Amino acid sequence: MARARNIKPGIMENETLADLSHSHRLLFIYLWMLADREGRLEDRPKRIRVQAFPYDDVDVEAMLDDLNVKGFILRYTSAAKDIIQVMNFSKHQAPHVREKASDLPSPEQGTAKVVPSTVQGSACASPRSPDSLILRSSDSLIPDSLIPEEKPLPVAAAPAPTNVQVLQPKTAKAKTESQMANANTWDAYADAYYDRYGVAPVRNAKVNGQVAQLVQRLGADEAPQVAAFYVLINDSFYIRSSHEFGLLVSRAEGIRTQWVTNRQMNGTTAQQIERKQANLQAGQEAAKRIMSREGRKENEFL
């Protein structure tokens, strides 16, 4: 699935990032595209260079060191694998809910690399370990300076509460077969919709009812496949409506026929079939007239 990332205007005003070169800034943004939904990617400079700068001769290894020293990323090792964590990634990015979960260990499970800064005049120290980075919320896309440890203020002892009712967590109810069928149908449609349009389709109470109708009319097995096929139809009528789910329900049986026959029906295809049918009918009528004339001639000789 394609990854969509956000670029906020605040990045242009970031003075720390401005100390770095244009290539550094581009690399930082490109790392968002390469990172998974948790902001992590394998620390493989050669591969990153091919992916981010296929036409430029740049030293990605050195730039990653600089971004690490400046606090924009964290380079660490875990399970014999070198990994990069983009700092504050989850705060500034909103990955799609269906984007694949990260399979890379978190910084807390690894050991941070200690690298020298290649940025002239840099006074930043390399992070000692992931646990030593204490971050505060900021729109600067980088962690603020380390917060000094403060002693907690004394808290007055409070009397123990009495007659406290402990609430037990509710047990989640298992989904019924119809609910599972509805969920599978919507997931198939939503995945195909996102792949085509790059956004998730709207789902509300009205759409939920339409999903249930489609499953009732086509069945739990066919409804998901027809829903995904519908989004692939390149008919101008469906495209103008952005393949809304209501059209799928209103023409469910016809779209199912196209899915079964693996033949998309659009305006051009319909006209071709119509002309073919008209030609066939004209040929049949001409053959009948010829046979009728030959029959009359045979009767004249009797």
Burial status of residue 274 (CB atoms within 10 A of its CB: 0-12, 13-18, 19 or more):
exposed
Task: Tell me the C-alpha distance between 84 and 89, whole Å.
Answer: 12
Q: CATH assignment of 9-132?
A: 1.10.10
Tokens 């300076």 locate to 145
Indicate if the pLDDT at residue 134 is higher than 50. no
Indicate if the pLDDT at residue 47 is higher than 90. yes
Q: What share of the chain has pLDDT > 70, as a percent?
A: 74
Domain locations in the chain as residue ranges: 9-132, 178-261
Tokens 């403060």 locate to 150
For 300, the enclosing helix (H) or strand (E) is: helix 267-300
Q: What is the mean pLDDT of residues 100-125?
A: 69
Q: What is the mean pLDDT of residues 131-146?
A: 41
End-to-end CA distance of the chain: 79
Stronger pLDDT, 293 or 181, i.e. the higher one: 181
Q: What confidence score (pLDDT) does residue 249 get?
A: 95
- Show Cβ contacts of residue 30 under 8 Å, excluding neighbours closer than 6 positions: 48, 51, 52
Stronger pLDDT, 142 or 4, i.e. the higher one: 4
Kindly write down the DSSP assignment for every residue of 47-80, as one continuous string: HHHHHH-TT----HHHHHHHHHHHTSEEEEEETT
Task: Tell me the C-alpha distance between 182 and 209, whole Å.
Answer: 10
pLDDT bin (cut points 50, 70, 90) of residue 161 is: low
Q: What confidence score (pLDDT) does residue 227 get?
A: 94
Is-above-0.75 flag for pTM? no
Mean pLDDT, the chain, rounded, equals 80
Residue 35 DSSP one-character state = S
